[in-house]
Amino acid sequence: MIFHSALKLAQAVRKREISAEEVINYFLRQIEVKEAGIKAFITVCADQALEQAQALDRRTDLPGLPLAGVPVAIKDNIVTKGIKTTCASRILANFYPPYDATVIKRLKEAGAVIIGKTNLDEFAMGSSTENSAFYPTRNPWNLECVPGGSSGGSAAAVAAGEAPLALGSDTGGSVRQPAAFCGLVGLKPTYGRVSRYGLIAFASSLDQIGPLARSVEDCALLTRVISGHDQHDSTSSPRSVPDYLAELSQPLENIKVGIISGDLLKDVNPEVKEAFYFTVKQLEEEGAQIEELHFSSWAIGLPCYYIIAPSEASSNLARYDGVRYGYRDLSEKQLLSMYQTTRTEGFGAEVKRRIILGTFALSAGYYEAYYGQASKARLLINQEFRQALDKVDFILTPATPEPAFSFGAKADPIAMYLSDIFTVTANLAGVPALTLPVRCSAKGLPIGIQLISDFFQESELFRLAFLVEKKVEFIKEYNKIN
């Protein structure tokens, strides 16, 4: 069952060839066997998952449920009613939300079963899942390596066969980078395609919930379920949602693929560079027209991101003050000192670093020099993407500068931030971007590439990814780790 796609599992449950309870019991056993080594989950919802599955098996409308009985792992910054939601932070270590996020409601309506909440870099701030307040998550391909971040727990759970599908959040690459490190397909949808209601905010103008799966088909299926307008999210788009899965088989003709220029690849790992050009060759064999693009603004993406994201984090995380909910230092009797000790003890080092950076960038006398300039740079990045996507249908880049790295290898924060060089620009521009695995390194670690398309062109993005997936047949590599 571990290699069954979510699509096939749901079909089997709908036809009552297997019960939802049997499916959930199987994956709970997988978690029991593998969690000691991987630690993908913060909370395993065994009792609730079995209750949901048993209720599904009693229903008479299974044929109408696209994810009937399929277990889904949820990043622990997406709220789940009555299930602890921690953001991998001490400050929310015992927070039980009173409501479900919109994506959780849509998953349940589609027949999916929430099997657990996954580990992450605290408040989604990081690229390795080493910044969790609880413990790091390990990469199933090599337990000495990180799974990426910040959605490392979700990626590791799917790669290890603990769940066929997972949700993460992507602010600067936090779905796509761990998908690349763990050999998965990961999507950052167009900003506004998926409701953010119930996603605990990091940087509100950049955050998007996105799916992780072992195949393009499963990723398309899950994206269709969670997408669509939501009255609870003012940034949610009213555009209709295509049937991404049904459109996968439609041919792509006369496509133009833009590739980033060689100067942006000069510091990229040689194996990643080789995988990138290997993908270019596969696309050329399928008749794609390849055009090199020169992005003068790409290099400013990282500094722009690391001003805007911390600034928004500084504002969003001000609510964690120990007064209304979450951790509170009960030993302090004065209000200001209670604020200080609560936040000092409740937040980890990386979160505090970003709050301080963001507060400085927004402070009087510095706002225009930092946040104001970053906003202008973001506009330039948007304009350059618009111009590029007027000339080509897709943009192809490496997903990451290197395969998964070992624990502690990026102790310097700047070195860690540089891991996001290829992913942050899509968040700044708001366009959809998808990563999928194409090769393994000499050490047996997955290498992914990134595909970017125009606003709300997820359907076309899936179709191109499906084409690449069939060409490279990476799915066979899973036999090496399970």
369: left (phi > 0), else alpha (psi -120 to 50), else beta? Answer: alpha
Strands 289-293 vs 256-260: parallel, antiparallel or unpaired: parallel
Other CB atoms within 10 Å distance of the CB of residue 164: 30
The Cβ-side half-sphere exposure at 357, using a 13 Å CA radius, reads 19
Tokens of 251: 């041919």
The residues near 58 (Cβ < 8 Å, ≥ 6 apart) are: none
| Nearest residue to 293 via CA among 280, 307, 309, 306 | 280
Bridge partner list, 398: 449
Q: Is 26 exposed, middle or buried (0-12, 13-18, 19+ CB in 10 A)?
A: middle
Report how far residue 118's alpha carbon sits from residue 44's, in angstroms, rounded to the nearest whole number: 8
Distances (CA, A) of 300 to 134, 226, 378, 381: 34, 32, 9, 8
- Catalytically active residues, by annotation: 75, 150, 174
Sequence letter at residue 236: S
The residues near 277 (Cβ < 8 Å, ≥ 6 apart) are: none
Q: For residues 223 and 211, is the Cβ–Cβ distance under 8 A?
A: yes
